[in-house]
Amino acid sequence: QWLRTSRRQLQLAPARFQLVHGAGSSAGPACGLLQDAFRRYYEYVFGQSRRRRGRRPLGARAEPELSQLQVVIESRDPGCHSYPHLASNEAYHLTVTEPVAVLKANEVWGALRGLETFSQLVHEDDYGSFLVNESEIDDFPRFAHRGILLDTSRHYLPLKSILTNLDAMAFNKFNVLHWHIVDDQSFPYQSIYFPELSDKGAYSYNHIYTPTDVRLVIEYARLRGIRVIPEFDTPGHTQSWGKGQKGLLTPCYSGEQPTGSFGPVNPILNTTYNFMTKFFKEISSVFPDAYIHLGGDEVNFDCWKSNPEVKEFMKKQGFGIDYAKLESYYIQKILNIVSSYDKGYMVWQEVFDNKVQLKPETVVQVWMENSYAHELSSVTGAGFTAILAAPWYLDYISYGQDWKKYYSVEPLNFPGSEKQKKLLIGGEACLWGEFVDATNLTPRLWPRASAVGERLWSSRNVTNLQDAYKRLTNHRCRML
């Protein structure tokens, strides 16, 4: 990554400046993704220019004009109609000189990142002129997975909030929306095969995501180079599933008597796996990404321990009283179901910690704050791909500038070989929704998440807090 910039400024005239496909580009006007991006970025660059101009002082020199930004996609298949994925190429080269600027990228994903950079270079002076410094930039991300987790179960987030957040993610070059769509509290995902899950499990009929809503989120994200990875967490965190799916959860007992309350998914019944097979078949076709997040965290064993049928099953399987073995038995079956649909999967770290047999390509997400470096070391040491979330739980708020601690994290500061370091493919900033809804989502997440975005994109040696502070304050104004 490098940037050369000169003091020489060029002027952009909103009435004349154009974003166009450059000569030799494999993408043209038929590339809807780029056409959409050109429209969007023209608005971002000149959006406020409807204002009346102040008069420039007489004798002020006029800058030479920049008339175009030409975008050239160099790969044979530009990727206009595909979905972004882990191996997508987001590198770009941007040259801003008179009379035309040129943005070169191998795939459209790099062009999107370069358009974002270009829009950040243009600034407006006191007289309403749009100026950009002559520059040359060669840029690419340090990590391939740069995610934001949104939780739409603790509080429902209206579609508009999710889309606004996808825009903010694009402004900060994030490329994964980890959609923690359902949990104990509510089940807003409207299933095509099992509509009663949201009929009975959502907060109300208004608090759901219809198939059309979900398609809209996926497409809105795709146009911004963002993957959507849904998380359907089991066997814990599933109270809301039980409302619309009788017999799915384990009945809890007190002595010989059922208490009327329920625990995690019931791992001993065939009906459980028949349901999960159908359910994940739907999820695999609705969400195009190569990965589904299967959760697997924080499973409370008390209810399983109280249930006589579960205890009987444990004996039969030879699990003794080790309920982590029962959890592993369940998760193993779910992993097999999901891989039968040609999907990779992500899991929270407990699944690895509890020694579940994992396929080599499993992605393990590390979230426990204490000793996460040690955990990264174990996960990558066992040959698994890892994602770091532990230092970036943005739902924990504190007074003052807590962005500094997020910025100062060095993801690769864990014991391990070069080979192990390569297995850490990125990180996520997580905003859990216990105390977040549409009213405070944006101000709580941004610009704090921007610090994480820069850590995951920029090279390891970009660590100066004073410099970051200057850029972050400017960027916050730009995002408003």
Angle between helices 465-479 and 159-171 (to 10 degrees): 140
Q: In angstroms, rounded to a whole number, what is the distance separating the alpha carbons of residues 461 and 294?
A: 34
Residue whose C-alpha is closest to residue 142's, from 73, 105, 178, 91: 91
C-alpha 285: how far from chain center: 19
172-204 as b/e: b if 16+ CB within 10 A: bbbbbbbbbbbbbbbbbbbbeebeebbeebbbe
Handedness of CA 279, 284, 288, 290 (dihedral sign): positive
Q: How far apart are CA 324 and CA 356, in angstroms?
A: 9
- Of the residues 196, 219, 298, 369, only one is catalytic, namely 298
Concatenated DSSP letters for 219-251?
HHHHTTT-EEEEE---SSS-HHHHHHSTTSEEE
Of 12, 37, 8, 44, the C-alpha closest to 480 is 44
| 470 burial level (CB within 10 Å; 0-12, 13-18, 19+) | exposed
Strands 130-139, 2-12: parallel, antiparallel or unpaired by DSSP? antiparallel
Nearest one of 425, 465, 412, 456 to 140, comparing CA atoms: 456
Task: Return d(Cα 67, Cα 313) in angstroms, integer.
Answer: 73
- Strand partners of residue 72: 104
How far, in Å, are 163, 306, 353, 445 from residue 229 at the CA level? 15, 35, 23, 19
The phi, psi pair for 403, rounded to 5°, reads: -60, -30
Give buried/exposed letters for 247-279 (b at 16+ CB in 10 A, else e).
ebbbbbbeeeeeeeebbbbbbbeeebbebbbeb
Q: Is 298 a catalytic residue?
A: yes
Q: What is the distance between the alpha carbons of residues 152 and 159, in angstroms, rounded to a whole number?
A: 10
DSSP 390: G
Catalytic positions are: 298
